[in-house]
């Protein structure tokens, strides 16, 4: 999880540069502020994802994962830009596919991929509050490299963020909760920049 989209974008680029195929990387980033635009390729990827197809397959060979960002809406998160296997699974879960995890959507996709449900709730809440989530499926020999990239000093410490959310009275991601506005996201981002 990254608070800043640029940090998530750099993590995706670093993963690709380290040899992780872009089809095995996913990014889901809040777009309530409308900062991220989709191009023609991305729009096609988003349409394919809505049909349950893999976004990564739709944009394969186009110059990396980030070239295939699609605009999507995921319940509880609102508008996001997304690409990769996780986004396709989340959209499939929203569309009624059988995915594990009671909440469906992003939480269902994460738990289906093996992320503990408690962590999946924090990740979904982080995206809801303006963050960007990068995930990767990697071969065993690339695990240390991927962990180093995804856990560097730009990323969010999940334990600390969970504690901060709980200190506010948060108990878990609620897909029925109102989406954060652009102003609320900016205030949230500013608060975590100061921590």
State residue 38's pLDDT score: 55
pLDDT 10s digits, 94-144: 444 333 333 457 888 889 889 999 999 999 999 999 999 999 999 999 999
Given a cut of 60, whether residue 42 has pLDDT beyond it is: no
State the residue range of the domain holding 190. Answer: 5-194
Given a cut of 70, whether residue 56 has pLDDT beyond it is: no
175 vs 125, more confident: 125
Counting the structural domains of the chain, the total is 1
φ, ψ for residue 18 (rounded to 5)?
A: -85, -5
Q: Where does residue 122 fall: left (phi above 0), alpha (psi -120 to 50 degrees), or beta otherwise?
A: alpha
128 vs 49, more confident: 128
pLDDT 10s digits, 11-40: 999 999 999 998 899 999 998 877 766 543
Mean pLDDT of the chain: 77
**Model-wide pTM > 0.85:** no
- Residue 47 token pair: 């349409």
């Amino acid at each position: 999880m990254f608070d800043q989209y640029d940090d998530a974008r750099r993590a995706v680029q670093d993963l690709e540069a380290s040899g992780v195929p872009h089809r095995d990387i996913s990014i889901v980033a809040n777009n309530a502020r409308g900062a991220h635009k989709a191009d023609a390729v991305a729009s096609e990827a988003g349409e394919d994802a809505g049909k349950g197809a893999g976004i990564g397959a739709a944009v394969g060979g186009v110059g990396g994962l980030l070239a295939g960002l699609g605009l999507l809406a995921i319940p509880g998160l609102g508008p996001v830009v997304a690409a990769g296997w996780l986004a396709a699974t989340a959209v499939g879960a929203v569309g009624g596919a059988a995915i594990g995890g009671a909440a469906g959507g992003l939480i269902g996709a994460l738990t289906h991929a093996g992320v503990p449900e408690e962590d999946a709730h924090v990740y979904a809440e982080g995206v809801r509050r303006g963050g960007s989530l990068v995930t990767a499926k990697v071969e065993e020999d690339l695990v240390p490299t991927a962990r180093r990239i995804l856990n560097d000093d730009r990323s969010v410490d999940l334990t600390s963020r969970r504690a901060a959310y709980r200190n506010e009275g948060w108990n878990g991601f609620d897909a029925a909760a109102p989406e954060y506005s652009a102003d609320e996201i900016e205030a949230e981002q500013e608060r975590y920049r100061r921590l």
